[in-house]
Structure 1
């Protein structure tokens, strides 16, 4: 039986989510500029993902947030393409099928909100993340789409919903 659950973010989760995202980025050696590390959105993820056609989910285990991911319209291509955003898991969450379940939940949200495609940006050395995206049908494309502001992310992937 799993001891974790995926649920929508609440305002009391904001600091834990910010700390989780930043600690994973530091662990992975990600640049602090041109990536999610410096996003203003991290200060209030609940507010960032409030509104239509957007959601942010957390993985909770024993009252601790061990992973999170969001889905929202891709800036500049809002009508048809959603973006899988800020998907990060602490080491204790990895290799347990949680990422697969999180992607499934996010992609279903995209389908339920009439998006045609889902886009994601990542980094070449985030190999496990790229494998997970590929397993879920994401294909690498040559150039970025939309306007994410994450100029240090150099791997672009898309999937038909």
Structure 2
């Protein structure tokens, strides 16, 4: 499904050609917020350059946000590895500054949660870091609650904020 939004914004499923483009967005946003190796963060996600392949797996989806044909963000959902089969994970929600504050993250998260329900998931997990205060507020407004311990095998040791929501 492709969604057309105001300001020449479009949300659509990821394609193979998007791999380097969304990887660049994720790296740029991470650097903007200081989530870099020199600040103690692990930035060598082995899947970052192959998101299309990763989200082509069963019960997984990733959506790209385009502005006038340029990739400016994205987000996805996938089963939570090493976890109960009814738990998914909201993943890799990143947006460039020019499209923040337009409700895209909220809309994309809701789309991902709807997709997760359709796939039969009953709970959704996510991890983030405390420095991303706007993201945490968004997730809380969507019904995610803080939990004390990590779930699954995400490989995100740097993400000290863990949240869960019933779908």
TM-score (norm 2): 0.92
1:78 deviation in Å? Answer: 4.8
Matched, 1:140 2:123: no
Q: Is the 8 A contact 2:35 2:41 kept in 1?
A: no
User: Cα deviations across residues 23-69 of structure 1 (Å, max 9, x unaligned)?
Assistant: 0001000143764x311111111111112100111111100111101
Structure 2, unpaired ranges of 5+? none
1:22 aligned residue (19, 27, 30): 27
1:53 to 50, 59, 74: 59
Q: Which moved more, 1:25-34 or 1:133-142?
A: 25-34
Q: Check if 1:67 corresponds to 2:70.
A: no
Report the counterpart of residue 115 of structure 2 in structure 1: 109
1: CA distance between counterparts of 2:135 and 2:157?
18
For these two proteins, the number of residue pairs brought into alignment is 160
Give the distance between the partners of 1:131 and 1:142, measured in 2 at CA.
Answer: 17
Structure 1 spans left out of the alignment, 5+ residues: none
In 2, the alpha carbon distance for the partners of 1:147 and 1:51 equals: 17
Aligned-CA RMSD value: 1.3
1:9 to 14, 22, 32: 14
Greater relative contact order, per chain length (Cα 8 Å cut-off, separation 6+):
1
Contact 1:34 1:150 in 2 (8 A): no
CA contact (8 A) 1:121 1:154 kept: yes
